[in-house]
Amino acid sequence: MKKIFFTFIEVVIAVAIMAFAFTAILAVSGTSAAKIAKAHQRWLIAHRTIQALEYFLLVGNSSATVPYFVFPYTDNRVEFSIVEPETLPDNAETVYMGWRLAGCKIKLLDNYGKELSSVIVEKILMETDN
């Protein structure tokens, strides 16, 4: 029986094709891992911002600090402030019977004070609330 062998050039071409495919697979997987890490970081920032926002919407006091059991992150801090609402028409009354519409602005900051995220939610407050 006659044995069939591959020629040297056929083996070299096969190895080159496999090397090219392997390189392409590594490039795609490396890019995918970077995109996954970036998406996770964006989700983490959004989650922490919303978590702080929910707390301040419930508490409603700008002087309150977020307790550790609500916001247990040491690499971020939160600032809360009350701002004028942007959606009111120019001729609208800002105060009605002791109540006013205000914007609650939450800023998520890193340890160096760089703003990572911010959100403004409008809320009805008593006129005396700051």
- What are the average pLDDT values for consecutive 10-residue runs of the chain, which has 130 residues? 80 92 86 90 92 84 72 87 80 81 88 91 78
pLDDT for the residue 44: 93
Instruction: Give me Rg for the CA atoms of the chain.
Output: 28
Distance (Å) of CA 46 to CA 50, 71, 83: 6, 13, 21
- Domain assignment of residue 1, yes or no: no
The answer to whether residue 45 sits within a structural domain is yes
State residue 64's pLDDT score.
64
Alpha-carbon gap, residue 68 to 55, rounded angstroms: 12
The whole-number pLDDT of residue 39 equals 95
Q: Which helix (DSSP H) or strand (DSSP E) does residue 37 occupy?
A: helix 8-59
Split into its structural domains, the chain has a count of 1
Residue range(s) defining the domain that contains residue 116 = 8-126
Q: Is 3 a member of any domain?
A: no
Q: Note the pLDDT of residue 63.
A: 57
User: CA dihedral defined by 109, 115, 120, 125, rounded to 10 degrees?
Assistant: 50
Supply the pTM of this predicted model: 0.68
